[in-house]
Chain A
Amino acid sequence: MAAISREEVAHLARLSRLAVTEEELDTFAGQLDVILQAVAQVGEVAAADIPPTSHSVPLTNVLREDVVVPGLTPQEALSGAPDAEEQRFRVPRILDEDVAS
């Protein structure tokens, strides 16, 4: 049985903000199924009472002195933006007109 369906892959693409084509969906569904079946092997390990590791370096709450240091100018920060206006990143509309009104 497949570990993941075509519909689930379409859902994942939407969650991931990837406008994948129908053709891509077919390819990805098959490939992700193979990968998921393989990685599911982690389930074979008896690890019920083992603590998880998220990070290998045992550092917590790394703080620094609250001192002003030089940073990027607005011009530098916006230098790679596809669109900018009045020292801001310009984006397409966020709300539908009927929702906004």
Chain B
Amino acid sequence: MSELIRKTATEIAGLVASGETSAVEVTRAHLDRITEVDDRVRAFLHVDTEGALAAARAVDERRAAGEPLGPLAGVPVAVKDVLTTRGVPTTVGSKILEGWRPPYDATIVSRLREAGTVMLGKTNMDEFAMGSSTEYSAYGATHNPWDLGRIPGGSGGGSAAALAAYEAPLAIGSDTGGSIRQPGAVTGTVGAKPTYGGTSRYGLVAFSSSLDTPGPCARTVLDAALLHQVIGGHDPRDSTSIPAPVPDVVAAAKLGATGDLTGVRLGVVKEFSGEGAEPGVLAAFREAVETLTKLGAEIVEVSCPNFSYALPAYYLIAPSECSSNLARFDGVRFGLREGDDGNRSLEEVMSLTRDVGFGPEVKRRIMLGTYALSSGYYDAYYGQAQKVRTLITRDFTAAFERVDALISPTTPFVAFEMGARTSDPYQMYLADLFTIPTNLYGGPGISVPCGLADGLPVGLQVMAPTMADDRMYRVAAALESAVGTLTPPAL
């Protein structure tokens, strides 16, 4: 096994830039690792061996010619299968898009190419990013490298598992209710959800458009910040993209790594630090709060009373938006078409296509959203949920008048055993209890490893004000400097 797979993205970029190693060598090391372990981890839906090696050769040629290299030149990256990749299969974990090769790249994918990264392939996910375990992928679940009998979180379990299994040093995820942060927490890796509008949604297959936020996944906070810097920033192709520079997350991560949080006020969310989480998670969180105090942070308790209603509000808003967004999967323009035998009508073919193409969780959410938006129920469900969203935003605004950032455990429980929550959909939803408020508010949140409970990773979440993503990187990097990175048992 090549030592290159243990390196951080920062180290790899340095080695490639100085010529100590080549991008091709780095890429081969990671492709070999995928061959070695991915039949057990199943993080990837598609490995683009040829494309990766071609991209790596291009980096090496540029370097040989003395041309300037991108900031992450030669660094391999795994991309969640929710982003379109030109000519490379994109399924969103669904049978309805099996075999689809998009004719265009998502903006984030274009920016990854421009930065000189090497895309290894596409990672597994819960179908249409709906789930917290990857068990709802139509192509089978991903396994947690810490314990192959456990889930790697979701929906971006493939990206997180690829990092923890040393199959890739960087990965892209998307976070609608916690799909970057919760997988990060349960695999002992770092996952950041940028401010909504801080990263482009162009080419991100839509689930819930007012919440969907693509973002970086890595094994260290600095690597996540470097990736954030590369993929972030205004995109004229996304009308909800914020026309402002990316907050200086890299400088913030470096500042945090000095381990000094003097003058930083952190608020522990009262509602998320008592009941509702496993004792082991709470113990690790409390220990991390002690550590943050030792690093100089001032800790206060902050009450956000409406956060308790975030989960029910989310499960009205997100399904409502999904029921509208997923109407485009009709068997006409792309993907599956079922039952077109010359006798059935368009509507019959559509209904059959959608029944065969969508899995149970996607169907549940489409129907739930259709219900919440129907006349007679609209005011009581969708309308009321939107008002609760306002109140949650007010809780955040009030909190940030008192503190610089809020902290909580990332998720109430450590990686659970496969199959433990699939029979009761609402039990699965609880995995995102602590991450959802941030999505409803639109601010940034990051999960950083803070310790172990029963030998499994626990994540601490830092939540910051809108467009103050740099603050969460500073706090996360400081905690990382004290706790260190977590290393899973050998696969």
The residues of A with any CB-CB pair to B shorter than 8 Å are 4, 8-9, 12-13, 15-21, 24, 27-28, 31-32, 34-36, 38-45, 47, 50-57, 59, 62, 64, 72, 76-77, 79-83, 89, 91-94, 96
Contact = CB atoms under 8 A, between A and B. Distances in A.
Nearest to B393: A53
A87 B258 CA distance: 60
Interface in B344-382: 344-352, 354-355, 358, 360, 363-364, 366-368, 370-371, 374, 380-381
A74 B5 CA distance: 42
Given A17-B347, A42-B381, A83-B340, A50 B102 contact: no
B196 A82 contact: no
B387 interface: yes
25 contacts: A15-B374, A18-B366, A18-B367, A24-B363, A32-B364, A35-B364, A38-B426, A39-B316, A39-B385, A42-B313, A42-B381, A45-B391, A51-B387, A52-B383, A56-B196, A56-B393, A56-B441, A62-B240, A76-B103, A79-B103, A80-B100, A80-B333, A81-B333, A82-B332, A93-B345
Contacts of B374: 15
Contacts of A52: 383, 386-387, 389-390
Contact of B367 (A12, A19, A42, A81): A12
A79 B197 CA distance: 30
Contacts of A82: 331-332, 334-337, 340
A19 B337 contact: no
Most buried by B among A24, A27, A41: A41
Contacts of B391: 45, 47, 50
Contacts of A24: 360, 363
Contacts, number: 180
Given A44-B309, A72-B103, A92-B346, A57 B386 contact: no
Contacts of B103: 72, 76-77, 79-80
A53 B332 contact: no
Contacts of A64: 236
B197 A18 contact: no
A19 B384 contact: no
Contacts of B331: 82
A44 B6 CA distance: 50
A29 to B, nearest CB: 10
Nearest to B427: A34
Contacts of A76: 103-104
Contact of A15 (B315, B316, B370, B381): B370
B226 interface: no
B57 to A, nearest CB: 26
Interface residues of B, number: 71
Contact of B240 (A28, A55, A83): A55
Interface of B: 100-104, 196-197, 210, 236, 239-240, 242, 306, 309, 312-313, 315-316, 323, 327, 330-337, 340, 342, 344-352, 354-355, 358, 360, 363-364, 366-368, 370-371, 374, 380-381, 383-391, 393, 424-426, 429, 440-442, 466
B210 A45 contact: no
Contacts of A80: 100-103, 333-335
Contacts of B332: 81-82, 89, 91
B333 A50 contact: no
A45 B386 contact: no
Given A39-B315, A52-B390, A56-B442, 12 more contacts: A4-B371, A17-B354, A18-B367, A24-B363, A36-B371, A40-B381, A45-B387, A51-B390, A59-B239, A81-B334, A82-B337, A93-B346
B370 A54 contact: no
A18 B387 contact: no
Which of A17, A41, A47 is the most central at the interface, judged by chain B CB atoms within 10 Å of its CB?
A17
A92 B240 contact: no
Nearest to B343: A92
Contact of A20 (B196, B242, B363): B363
A19 B351 contact: yes
A39 B319 CA distance: 12
B466 A56 contact: yes
Given A41-B309, A81-B332, A92-B344, A53 B389 contact: yes
B436 to A, nearest CB: 12
Which of B347, B371, B429 has the most chain A CB atoms inside 10 A of its CB?
A: B371
Given A16-B323, A43-B380, A92 B388 contact: no
Contacts of A32: 364, 367-368, 371
A50 B390 contact: yes
Contacts of A92: 340, 342, 344-346, 348-349
A26 to B, nearest CB: 12
A13 B370 CA distance: 9
